[in-house]
Structure 1
Amino acid sequence: MKWFTDYKEELELVFEEAVRRVAAFPAPLHTAGMDYLDRFHPLKKDSTKNYICYLLPFWLKEQTRLPADTYRTLSVANVFVMLHFFVQDDFMDTDTGADERRLMLPLSNLFQAEYSRLYREYFPADSPFWAYADTYLRQWAECVAKENEADYFRQDPVRIAYKAAPVKLASTGALLLSGQEELIEAFSRETDHTLLALQMADDWADWREDLDTGSYNCLLSLIRSRRGLKPEEPLSEDNVKQAVFIHGCLRDYAEAAAACSTDARTGLFHAPHMDAFHQSLLNDLLAEASHIDKERGLLGLGGFTHLLSKRNKS
C-alpha cells in the first residue's frame, strides 16, 4: 500500500488543516462538522477510508512537479468535496429526521463553501477549471438521478463512476497548474475506470444492504440480468447467494472489472500510485472470487446448504 503509506505525513497535515477550518464553523455546526470529518479521517482506526478523494493530487506529483503546499491545498479542497457530496448521498440514501436535516444541510453548504474558496485561490473566474467543475457536477447530478432506471452497469458501466466525478477537481486542478490541460480528458477517463473498480468493490461489500434499501448495485444488476428479471421483479437474498456462492457470479464480476481497466490505460501520463491503487481493487475482487471458487470446489454441490449458511454473514 505504498500508494497510501508514502503520503501518511502529508495526510496528517491535510487533515490538521481540515480540522482547523471546520473548527471555525459557527456553533453548533462546528461540532457536527468535526464529528462528520472524524468519520473519514484516513489515519484513525475504524474510520471509513476514501483514499482516492484526498490522495488523487498526490498521485500526480511525478507528472506535475508542483510545490508541495499546492498538493496539500488541493487535497484539503477535495476533503471538503468529499464531505459535501457524502452528505448529499446520505440524504438520498437514508430517511433523515427534521432535526438532522436542519443541521446537516447548512453544514453541507459550509463544506461546499470551503472547497470553493480553496479552489478560487488558484483559479480565477475565467479559468477553464470552472468549466470542468461544471461538467463534473452535471455528471454527478445526472448519474445519481438516473442510475436505477438507466441501469448503467448493463448499458455503459463507466458512467457509474460519475457518482464520484467531483473527485476529479483535484487532478484537473493539478494538470492545469502544471500547464498540461491536454492530458485532462485522458486522465479523467482513466480516473473514471478506477472509480468504477472502486464502486464495484464497494458494491460487492455492500450488496446485502443495497438489496434491503433498493440502492443501485452493480453486482445485483449483473445477477438480475443473469436471471432475466424485469425491473419490477424482486431479487431475493437467496437468489444472490446462489448466484455468487454456487454459480460463480463473482468470478465473472471480477473479470468484468479487470476487462474494463484494460481499456482505460493510455500510457500518456505517469501516475504509478493510482495504477497500483486501481490494481489493488481488482486483485481484492479476484482473490475473493478465487476463495469462493476454492471453497465451492472443496464442498462440492452437495455442500450447498452448508456453504450458504457459512456465508450468511459475508
Structure 2
Amino acid sequence: MRFFYDFYNDLKEVFKICREIISKYPEGLNDAGLKNLKRYNVFEENASKNYICYLLSFWINDKCHLKKEICIKITVANIFMMLFAFIQDDIIDREIEDEDIPIMIILGNLYFSEFMSIYREVFKGYEKIWDYYNFYMKKWSKFILDEKININNSMPLDSDKMVSLISGKAELIKIAVAAICILAKKEELLDMYFKAVDRVLFSLQVADDYIDWKKDLKRGNGNILLKEFTKKRKLKCYKDIREFDVKEEMIFGSLLNDLYMLLVKNSHKLDLIIGDKNMYIKEFNDSILKFMKSQMEIYLERRKEVKLGGFFNWVDKNIFNKSN
C-alpha cells in the first residue's frame, strides 16, 4: 500500500489541520463536526477508508513536484469539499436521521466555506481553476439528482460514457487534479488524469455497491450489483428483488464473476490510459481488483461447501438467520 504509506505523515498533518479548524467552530457545531470528521479519518478505527478522496492530490503531485506545504493545503480544502459532498449524498440516500439533518446541513455549509476560503487564498492569479470548479460542481450536481437514472441506464456498464456517468458520484475530486496541474503548469496532463480517475472511480463504485447492496436494496438506492442482478433475472425494478435470490445468484450464479471480469476489463483500459505514468493510481485500482477477486473466491468456496453436502446449513444461515 505505497499509495497510502508513502504519504502517511503528510496525511496525518492534513487531518490534524482539519481537526484544528473544526474545533474552532461555534459550540455544538464543533463537537458534531469533529464526530463527523472522525467517521472519515483514515487513522481512526472503523473509519471509512476513502483513500482516493484524501490522497489524490499527493498522487498527482508525485509528477508535478509542488512544495509539500501547498499540496497539504489543497488536500485540506478538498477534504472539506468531500465532507460537504458526503453530507449531501447521505441526506439524499436517507442515511442521516431526521433530527440530525439541520445540524448536518449547517456543517456542510461551513465545510464548503472552508474549501472556498483555502482555494481563494491559494489560487490568486490562477483564475482558470474556477472554470474547472464550475464544470465539475455542475456535473456532480446533475449526477446526484439523476443517480437512479444513471445506474439503471441500458448502455453497457464498461462503455466510456457509462463509466463517466457512474463515476459522477465522486466528480468533485477532479477539482483536486486540476488544482495540482494548474499550479504546476502541467495542464497537458489533465485529460489523461481525468480519464484515469474515471476508471478508478468506476472500480471503486463497483466494490462499494457490492458492499452496500443490502442497504441499497432496502432504501431503493442505485446499485450496480442490483442492476446486473435485475438483468440476469429479467426483473423490471428493485421492488421485484428478494434478498435471498441475490444471495443465491452470488453463490450459484455468475454475478460476482461478471463484476470481477468487468473490473479486469476496466483495469486494462486504465493501463492503456495511464501506463506507468502514475504508480499510485494504478496500485490503488489494483487493490480494488484484488479485493473483488477475494470476494468472488469466498463465494466460490461457499458453492463448493454446498456441493459437498452443506446445502441445509446454507439454507439455515441465509433464510432463517439472514446472514451472509
TM-score normalised by length of structure 2: 0.90
User: Which residue number in structure 1 is paired with residue 232 of structure 2?
Assistant: 226
Q: Contact conserved, 2:163 with 2:199, CA < 8 A, in 1? A: no
Does 2:89 correspond to 1:82? no
The one of 287, 298, 323 equivalent to 1:313 is 323
Q: Contact conserved, 1:153 with 1:222, CA < 8 A, in 2? A: no
User: Which residue number in structure 1 is paired with residue 43 of structure 2?
Assistant: 43
Distance 1:289 1:134 in 2: 40
- Please report how far the alpha carbon of residue 304 of structure 1 lies from its aligned counterpart in structure 2 after TM superposition: 4.2
Alpha carbons of structure 1 residues 87 and 255: separation in structure 2 relative to 1, 3 Å: same
The one of 282, 294, 300 equivalent to 1:275 is 282
- Please report how far the alpha carbon of residue 153 of structure 1 lies from its aligned counterpart in structure 2 after TM superposition: 6.4
Q: Contact conserved, 1:77 with 1:118, CA < 8 A, in 2? A: yes
The residue type equivalent to 2:290 in the other structure is N
Query: What stretches of structure 1 move > 6 A for 4+ residues in a row?
Result: none
Structure 2 unaligned regions, length at least 5: 156-161
- Please report how far the alpha carbon of residue 151 of structure 1 lies from its aligned counterpart in structure 2 after TM superposition: 2.8
Q: Contact conserved, 1:57 with 1:71, CA < 8 A, in 2? A: yes
Q: Contact conserved, 2:74 with 2:119, CA < 8 A, in 1? A: yes
User: Which residue number in structure 2 is paired with residue 171 of structure 1?
Assistant: 177
- Please report how far the alpha carbon of residue 309 of structure 1 lies from its aligned counterpart in structure 2 after TM superposition: 4.4
SS of the aligned residue for 2:71 comes to helix
Alpha carbons of structure 1 residues 55 and 249: separation in structure 2 relative to 1, 3 Å: same
- Please report how far the alpha carbon of residue 158 of structure 1 lies from its aligned counterpart in structure 2 after TM superposition: 3.4
User: Which residue number in structure 2 is paired with residue 198 of structure 1?
Assistant: 204
- Please report how far the alpha carbon of residue 308 of structure 1 lies from its aligned counterpart in structure 2 after TM superposition: 5.1
Does 2:268 correspond to 1:262? yes
- Please report how far the alpha carbon of residue 247 of structure 1 lies from its aligned counterpart in structure 2 after TM superposition: 0.7
The one of 176, 187, 198 equivalent to 1:181 is 187
User: Which residue number in structure 2 is paired with residue 144 of structure 1?
Assistant: 144
The residue type equivalent to 1:245 in the other structure is I
The residue type equivalent to 1:161 in the other structure is S
User: Which residue number in structure 2 is paired with residue 161 of structure 1?
Assistant: 167
CA deviation profile, 1:142-193 (whole Å, cap 9, x unmatched)? 1121121333564223311110010121121111111111221221111011
Distance 1:148 1:139 in 2: 15
The residue type equivalent to 2:68 in the other structure is A
Structure 1 unaligned regions, length at least 5: none
- Please report how far the alpha carbon of residue 298 of structure 1 lies from its aligned counterpart in structure 2 after TM superposition: 4.4
Q: Please tell me the root mean square deviation across aligned C-alpha atoms, in Å.
A: 2.1
Where in structure 2 are the equivalents of 1:229-248 lying within 5 Å? 229-231=235-237, 233-248=239-254
Distance 2:240 2:114 in 1: 43
Distance 2:228 2:257 in 1: 12
User: Which residue number in structure 2 is paired with residue 60 of structure 1?
Assistant: 60
Does 2:298 correspond to 1:291? yes
Q: Contact conserved, 1:84 with 1:111, CA < 8 A, in 2? A: yes
The residue type equivalent to 1:290 in the other structure is E
Distance 1:299 1:204 in 2: 22
- Please report how far the alpha carbon of residue 81 of structure 1 lies from its aligned counterpart in structure 2 after TM superposition: 1.1
